[in-house]
Amino acid sequence: AKVHYHKWDISYKFKSPDCYKKLAVTINGQTPGPTINAQQGDTIVVRVKNSLLTENVAIHWHGIRQIGTPWFDGTEGVTQCPIVAGDTFVYRFVVDRAGTYLYHAHYGMQRSAGLYGLIRVAVPDGVVEPFAYDYDRSIILNDWWHNSAYEQATGLASIPFVWVGEPQSLLINGRGKFNCSLAGPTAVCNATNPECSPYVLTVVPGKTYRLRIASITSLSALNFEIEGHNMTVVEADGHYVKPFVIKNLNIYSGETYSVLFTADRDPSRNYWLAVNVISRKPETPTGTAVLNYYPNHPRKSPPTSPPVGPLWNDTAYRFNQSYAIRSHPDHVHPPPLTSDRMIILLNTQNRVDGYTRWSLNNVSFNMPHTPYLIALKENLRHVFDQRPAPETYDYRNYDIYSVPKNHNATTGTSIYRLDFNSTVDVILQNANMIDPNKSETHPWHLHGHDFWVLGYGPGKFDPEVQPKEYNLVDPIMKNTVSLHSYGWTAIRFRADNPGAWAFHCHIESHFFMGMGIVFEEGVDRVGELPTSIMGCGDSKSLRRP
């Protein structure tokens, strides 16, 4: 196995990814950042220099389980102190499984400022994947706002509440197109800036492509389509999928997929790659890139208009695609047939002391900022509330279709302590928001593990009923899963990775407003913590030189 060394300098730069100039957080001057390429079993070493001058940073390796290195998960407040301005921090971890993963900032709302990229891990030499293709390409999708992450965060934490609103643009590989005639008089928007020329994917007629598609959106659920071409889904979050064919792909923030498609259409023209917002009423134009059939000119515009995707509010359509994702028959990891514990999490929006928050079982998460991993390992008991977080809600009486009446909603720092090696089920239960007749989609991401997706369904989960319908035969394993509007999602995982791990909605503003929890397991088995993760809050005195 190889060791890959990367040197990253994190700094603000003026960027115009959608032609509109704004400040972005960059890695070595780039957003998206460089793709990390490695092979299963390799070690990745990233020396991060924080050159943001007045801002801290932390980087999370999304989908990498950090087995044996929980302190390099990069989650500010959970596994490490932030890397303060001017400091250098070295991440070192093994990519133990082939597949497609992400990295991104995990501090405040910083991710939405542009710090993100892809991790591609190849299978070991001699291992054959259960599908074949000629070329391997990647696409990373994002949504983009023109105001700053600070303005957004301040609005969310204000009375009256100021929502971030819909994104101005959708980006494909860091490129989008804002209509500059809509930009205000003080804005710099230049439609001919090469930074916002559309991404071009050139294909050779007759060849088959593996396209790795990842979404790192801050808010939007997306639908991705290759005009005129079907796609066969073959990988999800690093696991092989029982192949199924789709016309377009629903993808939620934090998810990755590989699809195969063949360039077998009329080769005399180019086609659109298109992304559209789903599950929220779209106010953002379709994001586009060009599928260029060689030898046509890459700038030759397709003669058609870009695909508009499925109806944004067709929830059944999204449920159906979720149901279709099963493990590849030759790569099934059978789940344990029973679990030791069931945690039910009611997802609601509440007001707490006049602030708009998201809550789980009426508790909205407040990060204590002395990292949990350090507090747990070094026994700093006063750092967080030692009482257990609530295991369930009053599911018999709660009406998920009406506006929450949870007047007793609070904020909290409690966590869920899991028995090491136990099997845990988590049921995510969606419900109505503060606004009537609205229930959003939440993509839930678990750090440090993959989980089995045992089922999804509309309506209210009943622990006496739905477990009988779980898929215990060929469930897919994932690290991010969607919770659909007014529905439930059931997952199962083994608490076999010693550490402290975040589990949260991957919508940046939802997590910021409390939509997350922390699991602890086997912390007594965690090796000696590197002092480089320490130094903040009550871990100050622990940072020996």
Quote the CA–CA distance of 74 and 54 in Å, as a whole number. Answer: 19
Subset of residues 48 to 67 that bind ligand C2O, contact rule: CB under 6 A:
60, 62
507 near ligand C2O, judged by CB under 6 A: no
Contact pick of 442, 445, 460, 492 for Cu ion (by CB under 5 A): 442
318 near ligand C2O, judged by CB under 6 A: no
Q: What is the DSSP string of 462-476?
A: -TTTGGGG---SSBP
Query: Segment near ligand C2O (CB under 6 A), from 137-145, 307-315, 380-388, 501-509?
Result: 501-509
Which tokens go with 256?
């990755």
Closer residue to ligand C2O, CB minimum distance, 306 or 443 = 443
Q: What does DSSP assign to residue 381?
A: G
442 near ligand C2O, judged by CB under 6 A: no
Query: Segment near Cu ion (CB under 5 A), from 4-12, 224-232, 416-424, 498-506?
Result: 498-506
CB of 507 to Cu ion, least distance (A): 4
Quote the CA–CA distance of 273 and 252 in Å, as a whole number. Answer: 17
Closer residue to ligand C2O, CB minimum distance, 104 or 510 = 104
Subset of residues 241 to 260 that bind ligand C2O, contact rule: CB under 6 A:
254
Closer residue to ligand C2O, CB minimum distance, 116 or 293 = 116
* Chain centroid offset of residue 446 CA: 9
447 near ligand C2O, judged by CB under 6 A: yes
- Pick what 445 binds: Cu ion, ligand C2O, none; C-beta below 5 to 8 Å, kind-dependent: ligand C2O
Quote the CA–CA distance of 482 and 428 in Å, as a whole number. Answer: 9
Subset of residues 298 to 327 that bind Cu ion, contact rule: CB under 5 A:
none
Asked whether the CA dihedral 18, 36, 211, 105 is positive or negative, the reply is: negative
104 near ligand C2O, judged by CB under 6 A: yes
Give the DSSP H/E element, type plus range, for residue 376.
helix 372-377
CB of 60 to ligand C2O, least distance (A): 5
Q: How many helices (H) and strands (E) does the chain have?
A: 4, 32
Closer residue to Cu ion, CB minimum distance, 104 or 120 = 104
As beta bridge partners, residue 240 has 235
502 near Cu ion, judged by CB under 5 A: no
Quote the CA–CA distance of 236 and 471 in Å, as a whole number. Answer: 17
Q: How many residues bind ligand C2O (CB under 6 A)?
A: 11
Q: Which of 223, 252, 219 is nearest to 312 (CA)?
A: 223
Which tokens go with 246?
């789709």
Annotate each residue in 61-100 with x if it binds ligand C2O (CB under 6 A) or - if it does not, as one string: -x------------x-------------------------
Contact pick of 374, 500, 502, 515 for ligand C2O (by CB under 6 A): 502
106 near ligand C2O, judged by CB under 6 A: yes
Q: What is the DSSP string of 21-70?
A: -EEEEEETTBSS-PPEEEETT-EEEEEEEE--SS--B-EEEET---TT-G
Quote the CA–CA distance of 453 and 476 in Å, as a whole number. Answer: 6
Q: Return residues touching ligand C2O (CB under 6 A).
A: 60, 62, 75, 104, 106, 254, 445, 447, 502, 504, 506
Q: Return residues touching Cu ion (CB under 5 A).
A: 442, 505, 507, 510
